[in-house]
Chains A and B, each alone.
Chain A
């Protein structure tokens, strides 16, 4: 075990994957000698050479298009999009190409080797264009998997799985935790399964669901609610496509209440999907309406970031309201 922050864990996962398989290549803007604007790819070019870790021109649609071709050829590209906010020029390549490559060719060709890494989320005073949480757009695309880790241990294990998965994966990294989240990470090679939720804390009165950086927020709210004698079960979804319906529904059958928290705007956010599925599976167990505590339906703000965010206090209030329903 070593103490690592989230970035170091990601860097360690990339080194582990590249040492184990010479088909793993890392590409993106500034990922080469410089090591990426967040330093997630530090020292990769030193160890593996420019052939395996290289800068690309500044063109997101090109990065993903190129990586699609590289994956179709049999390599395992890990493509970095510098900020999740800038992934949209590559939206066509992801929706119409990455996700459909295997399906449209009847399984003759696929982009399964592709992993797209991108930092997402707020909390860094980044305004509209360095703070968004676009995961719900990608949850609507059959053919890809969407994974979001909450801490260094999860990040390394999930990223190694994502790289080795036979399906293309978008790996959203909570950038406000890049240096803030520190924890024990095995130096060995290990994988955590995709599509599985993690029960972070068991409880009996209400189920709280989040992913990525918001998991620590709902944990904080759960702690506060404990002061009122409310026992919260905290679940980290980890994967939002496909997502672990069974773990959440089992929990809600037990607790009778569900609250979902995400940073992205409320309307058509992924919480809506979770709420719809869980009400259909757990209708007779529910003691109260499913609650969503989410970002506002505004562009992500700058000076009002604190007001915008679905923080622990808003979550706590929603827990109390649900309990008192």
Chain B
């Protein structure tokens, strides 16, 4: 411990006789880019991706896009109530997860289904959650897209924005304290970075030496609010430096760069027990959610410009140029995945809902007496008016 008498919080500050007002922009933070939009590799260093890793990322991105297309359409057909697509941001999510180890905890915001795809979450698991049926691990308690899977180290999604950021610092502290060779990655958008929890989380992670990767998907919009109305200054990356957090800015539509950045972040976070902030510059080609219509706040021209930077096409071009990709195999995978999704939609929507016991379970570790009283009272009421409560009446009669 530092000797109390030796502490001096201005010891490292030089003095000056000029009135220097430090402005934003003095330090421009560059963006790591390894593939251009034609999939050309731009660096002189060896590529960080092997054929196997590149193809697993590419296939996972394709699956994610397909899943999103099918489920947005299922929502429009009224089969599910809500959906959030990752379209345009697949590289940011999938390639960052690919640079981690399976033991690393993922705390997502809500648009990171690609991370689950990469880790092997099955179509059936996606559908059980999206349809809130009795096989949904959340037991029908959360809206669609609130995935979570303990065996895959993917923390259950929570709607409030940014709450996972200080939690990720704490989780990582626990991993370090208990001697796990693992860290926590925490995803969030640039809008969520305005929340107090962002500032709390980064500061605490830095001060308490937590091996956490804070991964910001700067996708240009928080629902309708563009970044220019969200923050001043040089993006989210500049804030990391202010908190004493090591920081990387990366082209979020470049899977190769995202992989390299996250791999480097993981290495340094574990070796030095410190947080790293990654700001991935990307674009939400999709609407915010199925409740949103982007034509009210951005132009089709703008969307076209970003479609040209499509992250899937970019990595695919690179893989083709390396002669790594068998296009027929990819087509067959896409066809088969589409069929599997359709079949699982049909299955999942026919499943029953969770039991009425699950309405009351898990509030506490053990059902307390007052909740048991409420449960018995509700059951008696449902038995009296079964037609009014069709989801649960059958099991009670």
Contact = CB atoms under 8 A, between A and B. Distances in A.
Interface range for A: 35 or more
A38 to B, nearest CB: 20
Interface stretch (B34-42, B51-59, B70-78, B133-141): B133-141
Nearest to B370: A242
B200 A72 contact: no
B148 A109 contact: yes
Contact of B137 (A103, A106, A246): A106
Contact of A70 (B160, B170, B369): B170
A73 B364 contact: no
B368 A242 contact: yes
Interface in A247-264: none
A104 B141 contact: yes
A89 B150 CA distance: 29
A59 B204 contact: yes
A92 B105 CA distance: 23
Contact of B138 (A59, A68, A106): A106
Contact of A61 (B139, B173, B174, B196): B196
Contact of A74 (B138, B174, B362, B371): B174
A21 to B, nearest CB: 12
A69 B174 contact: yes
Contacts of A112: 365
Contacts of A61: 166, 196-197, 200
Contact of A104 (B156, B200, B208): B156
Interface stretch (A50-58, A115-123, A202-210, A292-300): A50-58
B363 A143 contact: yes
Given A56-B208, A57-B203, A106-B141, A66 B167 contact: yes
A69 B169 contact: yes
Interface-centre pick from B199, B361, B365 (highest chain A CB count, 10 A): B365
A102 interface: yes
Nearest to A144: B364
A68 B160 CA distance: 14
A54 B1 CA distance: 12
A96 interface: yes
B337 interface: no
Contact of B155 (A57, A92, A109, A166): A109
B359 to A, nearest CB: 10
Contacts of B142: 104
Given A166-B365, A245-B370, A105 B138 contact: yes
A109 B171 CA distance: 12
A62 B166 contact: yes
B175 A73 contact: yes
Interface in A51-92: 51, 54, 56-57, 59, 61-62, 64-75, 77, 89, 92
Given A62-B201, A74-B174, 18 more contacts: A50-B1, A59-B204, A61-B166, A61-B197, A62-B197, A70-B170, A70-B174, A72-B171, A75-B177, A96-B163, A100-B158, A102-B365, A106-B137, A107-B139, A108-B156, A112-B365, A167-B364, A195-B369
